[in-house]
């Protein structure tokens, strides 16, 4: 888990400990500052998950080098970026050059709060 706000990471660490989750690490940093090195040229993660912190083109630019090129344990679901976004995404998706799969959260949770909120998935393929 990576976040620029250490307080959030402390909460995540405490929750993970409380539920017995052991395969979780945290890093106090910004995603765009994480670099893959020569020891790991193919990336580090199967999936990068983000909330709506930046335009999709930036999220993809920062995430793509961090995503492993090898296949994950489930070959039916390629490695990629999953992010939560809101509003009219037409221009943002166009400017990103990506072709994400888009799910309307309101179809999963029918409360008004989730109207115009989406889950986007961009596979690396």
Token pair belonging to 84: 């939560």
pLDDT above 90 (res 65)? no
**Radius of gyration of the chain, Cα coordinates, nearest whole angstrom:** 16
Report which of residues 57 and 76 the model is more confident about. Answer: 57
pLDDT above 70 (res 38)? no
**Contact yes or no for 17/58 (Cβ under 8 A):** no
Model pLDDT for residues 82-109, shown as the tens digit of each residue? 999 999 999 999 999 999 999 999 999 9
pLDDT above 80 (res 58)? yes
| Average of per-residue pLDDT values in the chain | 87
What b/e sequence results for 16-42 when a residue is b if at least 16 CB atoms lie within 10 Å of its CB, and e otherwise? beeeeeeeeeeeeeebeebeeeeeeee
The Cβ of residue 106 has, within 10 Å, a number of other Cβ atoms equal to 15
Phi/psi at 31 (nearest 5 deg)?
Answer: -55, -40
Estimate the share of the chain in helix, then strand, then coil, as percent rounded to the nearest 5.
35, 20, 45
pLDDT above 70 (res 42)? no
């Amino acid at each position: 888990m990576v976040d620029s706000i250490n307080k959030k990471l402390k909460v995540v660490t405490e929750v993970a400990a409380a539920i017995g989750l052991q395969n979780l690490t945290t890093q106090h940093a910004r995603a765009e500052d994480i670099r893959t090195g020569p020891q790991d040229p193919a990336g580090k993660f199967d999936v990068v998950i983000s909330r709506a912190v930046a335009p999709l083109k930036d999220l993809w630019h920062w995430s793509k080098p961090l995503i492993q090129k090898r296949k994950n344990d489930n070959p039916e679901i390629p490695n990629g970026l999953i992010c939560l976004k809101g509003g009219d995404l037409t221009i943002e998706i166009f400017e990103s050059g990506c072709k994400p799969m888009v799910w309307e959260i309101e179809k999963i949770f029918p409360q008004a709060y989730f109207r115009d909120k989406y889950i986007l998935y961009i596979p690396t393929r």
